[in-house]
Amino acid sequence: MKALALNQDRLVSILDLHYALHTLAPEGSIEVSPEHTQYNVKPMGLFAPIDVNRTCDSIPIIDLNGCICKRNDTKYVANDTRHMMLAEFALGEINNVIQSQFRAKHPDAATGFGSCQRLSATWFDNVRETSQTGAVSTQLSIYVPAGKNASQDEDVFWVTVFVSDNHKMNLTDYKRISRYGPYKECADDGVDIKLCICSLIRPISRPDYMTIPSWHSGLPDVFQHNTTTTALDNSSCIYVFQRITQSGMTLEASSECSKKSYILEVDADTLENIFTSLPLPYRVMLNPGDMVFLFVFIQSNHKAEWEVEYQWRIVADPTPGG
């Protein structure tokens, strides 16, 4: 009780409450998990004195949450197309992570995504920017339709995109801030549950991992913008997808080829008032069933017109004898 009275004037976190509640449980207090040791949490949580010098950097919070710490960022209106391109970049990078994790666990699957679906966002908000000597760090919330039969309509991801002064882009942080526990019932082995959105319709069933999806037959709108699909040639099973906004363009590619992998190269002939999230030319391996985010073209000066002319080609068949 003395510790509780003392901690009323100190900075506490949900982790302190977590370990305090375990102390009250019949099993008693538990050891601090390795991933929590960086926060200097004690096994008794709130029932032990909290460090008087603790700051917001010493507790597990995401920047979306309110905090008593001072900020030096700027808020922006949601869903403007300039920040939409950053949201597209973040969403694409997360999708690539999901596919990579699924492929690592299921290397023989004929698809890049299993039960954990490819994310397709509807809107974003809570945009904040922090400028640092020419570089800009942008944080925003991305809203994704929830899985079928989920208790909520949307799932939310909080992301941070860093653009350096020479226009290099990185997704430096991403967190799921909506409930993800129920998806444990339908998630794929190998895919981080915090990234997974899947169908909760009972009985829970797995999709056919050995069927190549027809990605080109119709992708949902992303941030309320249509996706245009183009086959690499008339007989190709490689498709390129683009979405154009006032502030740039998003490129993705899929392979619906059977048993063969290809290397796709994308390059630009014209880049006026535009920078890319990756250096060009860009090459990517496309395995059967893959749906890959490539990169975004982003308008450099939002007050001037932009123009892009790009081309793509298959540069190699990496399969033996190909």
Burial 177-201 (b: 16+ CB within 10 A, else e): ebebebbeebbbeebeeebbbbbbe
Q: What is the pLDDT of residue 68?
A: 47
Each residue of 195-243: pLDDT tens digit?
999 999 999 988 999 999 999 997 888 998 999 999 987 768 999 999 9
Which residues is 129 bridged to in the sheet? 74, 138
Which residues is 168 bridged to in the sheet? none
Q: What is the pLDDT of residue 206?
A: 87
Query: Quick check: 320 pLDDT over 60?
Result: no
pTM of the model: 0.81
Q: What is the pLDDT of residue 319?
A: 61
DSSP assigned state of 187: P
Residue range 163-185: average pLDDT?
Answer: 93
Q: Which of 136, 150, 132 lies closest to 187, judged by CA?
A: 150
Give 229's contacts (C-beta < 8 A, 6+ positions apart).
216, 219, 239, 240, 241
For tokens 């995504």, name the residue.
113
d(CA 289, CA 280): 25
**Burial zone of 119 (CB within 10 Å; 0-12 exposed, 13-18 middle, 19+ buried):** buried
Amino acid at 39: Y
Query: Quick check: 285 pLDDT over 90?
Result: yes
Each residue of 68-89: pLDDT tens digit?
454 455 555 556 889 999 999 9
